Amino acid sequence: MPVTNDAIILGVLAATLGAIFWTTQSAHPFWRGFYKYVPALLLCYFLPALYNTLGLIDGENSALYTIASRYLLPTTLVLLTLSIDFPALAKLGPKSLALFLTGTVGIIVGGPLSLLLWGWISPETVAGDVWKGMATLAGSWIGGSANQTAMKEVFGVDSNLFGMFLAVDILVANVWMAFLLYLAARSPQIDARSGADTRAIVALREKMERFESENSRIPKLPDLMMIIGVGFGATGLAHLLAAPLVDAFKGVVWAERASLTSAFFWIVVLATTFGLLLSLTRARNLEGAGASKIGTVMLYILIASIGMHMDLRAVFTNPGLFGVGATWILIHGGLMFLVAKLIRAPVFYFAVGSQANIGAAASAPVVASAFHPSLAPVGVLLAVLGYALGTYGAWLTALVMRAIAQP
């Protein structure tokens, strides 16, 4: 008999997340070896999905996902975009930003091209609502898990289809990250052959070391209460404004096709926009007290609540989707490589710009720190920019893919 009490299910999910992150910090050789190959993020989806698949919990009828997606997700978007530092991003230099944005364009263009190509190679692989699942992948590969979930809700993606693309996301993205780490280890030789100027990276490294030491602090209770107040306050305002915006576009055919009559679409867009606007104020200083960390805690609760809706038996029913994901990421990488060669950019800008798109804040610092530990914040800065662009970019990508799939 599955557990149906949401208080118990929430306790199980919270305990599961706690156990996962406790083991990630373990010095035991088993856990170190285990997490070398299995991302913690995968377990945050997989274990709740396993509980549901085995009938231990009733994920389908639980209200936890509705609460998490409507309240925690917008708050997460506010707190993750709140920390964006536009002046610091500008100081990264034009080559760094050019490659990051090229990576974003590669995802926006690569999705529709992959859909067209696989529609010719294997029409059954991308038939039906597959474009909707690809929209969630665009959200993840431009922004991160929060944007991925937003696209799931905006386009009404089935939980099992979402699970399939989650598997594609994790497998393809991790193979790509391994390739980027391979490039990082050989960056001096590659840069020497290409004639790339790496002096700006040395200066950047010193600047980021100073930034970290000057802005981090131990949070106090007023800091934490202000973070909660800003996050949920902006979410409440997004809910308030969403209803009249939906009413304004009702009955307009083109607006319905563009999701402008979806309340959740407006909630997500408004929350992201509010976070960006707040980043231009003193509210951005809340990042030093851990605003993005609190946002990430909410995000992982959301991730676990998504997982408990999945049936793992359906995840690998369409293996061709892995080919779609691989094609997509190769288009992204190929476009970035071409631009990097044209502007003679160092490998660092290529690798971190790509991973800031594909892997977001969870792994972009890992790739950046492979070049030098003090460069990890550069990965964070670019990944936060990805969170800001993820909602808009993934929505645009989805509209193009829907036009292809449903002409």
For the stretch 33-90, pLDDT in tens is 888 777 787 788 889 888 988 889 887 788 888 888 889 888 988 888 887 777 766 7
64 found inside a domain? no
Mean pLDDT of all residues belonging to the chain: 84
Do the beta carbons of residue 310 and residue 45 sit within 8 Å?
yes
Count of domains forming the chain: 1
Percent of the chain scored above 90 by pLDDT? 29
Asked whether residue 271 carries a pLDDT value surpassing 90, the answer given is no
Asked whether residue 208 carries a pLDDT value surpassing 60, the answer given is no
347 found inside a domain? yes
Average pLDDT score over residue span 361-381: 67
Of 366, 14, 298, 389, nearest in space to 290 by CA: 298
pLDDT at 374: 56
* Rounded distance between C-alpha atoms, residue 379 and residue 357, angstroms: 10
Asked whether residue 387 carries a pLDDT value surpassing 60, the answer given is yes
pLDDT at 74: 86
Q: For the ranges 37-46, 89-98, 366-375, which has the lowest average pLDDT?
A: 366-375
- Which residue bears the tokens 């990965």? 379
pTM to 2 decimals?
A: 0.72
357 found inside a domain? yes
Average pLDDT score over residue span 174-201: 78
Asked whether residue 112 carries a pLDDT value surpassing 90, the answer given is yes
CB proximity list for 267: less than 8 A, separation 6 or greater: 70, 74, 235, 238, 239, 242
Q: Write out the residue range of the structural domain in which residue 368 sits.
A: 81-292+314-405
Asked whether residue 335 carries a pLDDT value surpassing 70, the answer given is yes
* Rounded distance between C-alpha atoms, residue 44 and residue 380, angstroms: 21
356 found inside a domain? yes
pLDDT at 90: 72
318 found inside a domain? yes
- Chain centroid to CA 328: 16
For residue 137, name the pLDDT band (cuts at 50, 70, 90). Answer: very high
Do the beta carbons of residue 169 and residue 141 sit within 8 Å?
yes
Average pLDDT score over residue span 163-173: 84
238 found inside a domain? yes
Terminal alpha carbon distance of the chain:
45
3-state DSSP assignment of residue 212: helix
Q: For the ranges 148-162, 224-238, 298-312, which has the lowest average pLDDT?
A: 298-312
Helices 130-142 and 376-405: crossing angle in degrees, nearest 10, is 160
245 found inside a domain? yes
- Which segment, 14-28, 49-63, 199-213, 359-373, is predicted with the most confidence on average? 14-28
Asked whether residue 130 carries a pLDDT value surpassing 90, the answer given is yes
Do the beta carbons of residue 138 and residue 111 sit within 8 Å?
yes
Q: Within 10 Å of residue 366's Cβ, how many Cβ atoms?
A: 16
User: If residue 21 lies in a helix (H) or strand (E), which one and from where to where?
Assistant: helix 6-24
pLDDT at 361: 61
* Rounded distance between C-alpha atoms, residue 384 and residue 86, angstroms: 10
Q: For the ranges 132-146, 196-210, 357-371, 374-388, which has the lowest average pLDDT?
A: 196-210
Q: For the ranges 145-149, 159-163, 257-261, which has the lowest average pLDDT?
A: 257-261
- Which segment, 17-21, 251-255, 353-357, is predicted with the most confidence on average? 17-21
pLDDT at 279: 86
Asked whether residue 156 carries a pLDDT value surpassing 60, the answer given is yes
* Rounded distance between C-alpha atoms, residue 318 and residue 166, angstroms: 13
44 found inside a domain? no
Quick one: CA dihedral 384, 358, 20, 162, positive or negative?
A: positive
Asked whether residue 10 carries a pLDDT value surpassing 90, the answer given is yes
